[in-house]
Structure formats: structure tokens, C-alpha cells
């Protein structure tokens, strides 16, 4: 079985914003950086270390972020679902590795209820000890199919995601949906513009180039 492991951020075109909270990495995925309240949330969360000893303030931050994410829109990149379906029809094993937690993914599923059924497994932040750029998620995804990461292909468009995929030993397909080709090329085996371009290629021929 051929295995494709996809970073969730490049499916939805989200912008990952790192927030340091109590020594743990937390991500705020923002589908549209001009959405209302975003700047206020960034400013509010930038001082989150101030609340290290204040459980009430930490809970307030967590609740506000969850409320914000619940109101977000999660548009999928053109061609992404069609490509996933094409891989599945050819017998590929499919997994998603995301740094988002289950609460955030539940918000995403409300916008795209058919998404979970397209994949054999979805790994969230709760499933790994170390988030991207650590390779844990991709290694675990490969092992769930009984394979080494070297036998798998990772699709990513973020630097942390690409670094995680490369560190895992998997083959890397980088998409220029978030960053320019010259920035991600050193981390990739193949670089493509988007899923629509991938859909125009013969899937089997593409893997012969990796």
C-alpha cells in the first residue's frame, strides 16, 4: 500500500500563528488574517506568559480562542479534496497530521463534515508528545500503517511541517500555497504550486520522480 500523509494546514490554507503558553506550543489557525478580533487576540495572547501563575486568566484566554475558532471559516484549497479522493480510489493509505487540537478540528469538521471519512486516520496535537517541527506526528502516522516513514509521502506547505516531514525520513511534496518555491525547495523532493496542478499530473508518474 502506498501512503500519503497530509499536513492539515495546507488543506485549508490556514495561517499558523505560534503562541507560547506555559511552556507548551499552541497554534491559532486563521483562515483569513483580516477577520475581526484577530489583532486583538494576537495582542492579548502575546502577553500570555504573564498569566503563568493565574489559572483564571489562562482559562479566559483558552475560552476566547475557542470562541474565536468556532466562528471561523475554513475554506479548503481548490482541488485538495478531489486529489485526496483520487489517491484513495487508487488504493493509497491516507492520514492527516495536524498541530491543531481536537477542539479546533471539531470546528473544522462542522464546516466539512465529510472530511474525516476520507482518511484512514487523523492525528491531532493530543496524539503526539512533540509537535511540528518534531517528526513525531509523521512517524506515528507511518507506523499506524505498519510502515517506516521512508515508505510514505508527506504533503506540506509550512516550514515547520516540511521540517517535520524531512526529519521523519518521508518523501516530501511541498506546495507553494503559503510560501514561495525558493523558500521551501531545499526541504522538498518535489515542489508544486497547488492541488489543482497535482490533479493534472498522473499520480503514479509523480512518484517515479521522487
> What pLDDT, on the 0 to 100 scale, is given for residue 166?
95
Same domain, 103 and 30: no
| pLDDT tens track for 127-178 | 999 989 999 999 999 999 999 999 899 999 999 999 999 999 999 999 998 8
Same domain, 94 and 198: yes
* 155, 103, 81, 132 alpha-carbon torsion, rounded to 10°: 0
Q: Grid coordinates in use for 114?
A: 465529510
How far is it, in rounded angstroms, from Cα 191 to Cα 193? 7
In the chain, how many domains are there?
2
Any idea what the CATH number is for the domain that residue 185 is in? 3.40.50.1000
Same domain, 139 and 82: yes
Same domain, 92 and 130: yes
Same domain, 43 and 110: no
Strand order in the sheet with 190-192: 121-123, 93-97, 3-7, 152-156, 171-175, 190-192
| pLDDT tens track for 106-117 | 888 988 999 999
Same domain, 98 and 133: yes
**More confident of the two residues 78 and 74:** 78
Largest CA distance in the chain: 56
> What pLDDT, on the 0 to 100 scale, is given for residue 36?
41
Domain range enclosing 53: 15-71
Same domain, 150 and 56: no
Amino acid at each position: 500500500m502506498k501512503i500519503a500523509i497530509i499536513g492539515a494546514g495546507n488543506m485549508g490554507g490556514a495561517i499558523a500563528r505560534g503562541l507560547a503558553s506555559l511552556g507548551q506550543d499552541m497554534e491559532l489557525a486563521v483562515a483569513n488574517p483580516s477577520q475581526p478580533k484577530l489583532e486583538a487576540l494576537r495582542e492579548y495572547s502575546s502577553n500570555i506568559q504573564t498569566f503563568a501563575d493565574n489559572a483564571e486568566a489562562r482559562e479566559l484566554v483558552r475560552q476566547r480562542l475557542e470562541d474565536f475558532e468556532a466562528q471561523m471559516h475554513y475554506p479548503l484549497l481548490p482541488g485538495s479534496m478531489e486529489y485526496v479522493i483520487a489517491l484513495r480510489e487508487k488504493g493509497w493509505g491516507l492520514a492527516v497530521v495536524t498541530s491543531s487540537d481536537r477542539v479546533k478540528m471539531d470546528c473544522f469538521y462542522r464546516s466539512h463534515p465529510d472530511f474525516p471519512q476520507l482518511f484512514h486516520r487523523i492525528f491531532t496535537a493530543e496524539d503526539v508528545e512533540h509537535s511540528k517541527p518534531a517528526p513525531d506526528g509523521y512517524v506515528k502516522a507511518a507506523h499506524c500503517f505498519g510502515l517506516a516513514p521512508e515508505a510514505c509521502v508527506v504533503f506540506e506547505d509550512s516550514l515547520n511541517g516540511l521540517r517535520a516531514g524531512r526529519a521523519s525520513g518521508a518523501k516530501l511534496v511541498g506546495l507553494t500555497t503559503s510560501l514561495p518555491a525558493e523558500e521551501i525547495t531545499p526541504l522538498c523532493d518535489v515542489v508544486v504550486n497547488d492541488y489543482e496542478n497535482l490533479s493534472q499530473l498522473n499520480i503514479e508518474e509523480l512518484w517515479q520522480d521522487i
